[in-house]
Amino acid sequence: MALPIGTTAPDFSLPSTSGEIFTLSVHLKNKSGILYFYPKYFNPDCTKEACAFQDNFHVFDDRDILVFGISRDSIQLLSDVDGRVAKLYRANIPLTNLTARITYRIDPNQKIVGVYTNMLNAKAHITHMIHQLSL
């Protein structure tokens, strides 16, 4: 079960594709963000999800919302190899080495203001987040 709306987003640091260490409290200081957890890089559904976020990047960029993907794979976006961050965000699948497909929207005060969970429909995550922005 995902973290509830209104919860303070747990802070974390992870290596990123840029070679930098991403720290939530630093990179989202006074900014909104989307964190989407996904099971496996290069999995067809995960690739569709990442491409959907990339194709709609302008929607978030226009609103100054940063978007970050997290999986347990080696570095592709943000790498959570040991699953520590997935566990903080309740995005781990018990008894497996996989991350659940959960998307969080975080406000500039690092509060969770939107959550969407759906393992089977990867593209629905982007649709849901865009719809929340229009409310």
**What digits encode the pLDDT tens for the residues 46-78?**
667 777 788 888 899 999 999 998 887 765 578
Q: Which residue has the tokens 């194709």?
A: 55
Q: Are 16 and 77 in contact (CB under 8 A)?
A: yes
* Of 123, 86, 93, 92, residue with least CA distance to 10: 86
Q: 122 or 73, which is more confident?
A: 122
Would residue 51 show up in a list of annotated catalytic residues for this protein? no
Question: Which domains are assigned to the chain?
Answer: 13-133 (3.40.30.10)
Pick the catalytic residue: 28, 34, 35, 46? 46
Q: Report pLDDT digits (tens) over 18-38.
A: 889 999 999 999 999 999 898
CA distances from 45 to 30, 104, 106, 109 (A): 32, 18, 24, 31
Question: Judging by beta carbons within 10 Å of its beta carbon (0-12, 13-18, 19+), is residue 15 exposed, middle or buried?
Answer: middle
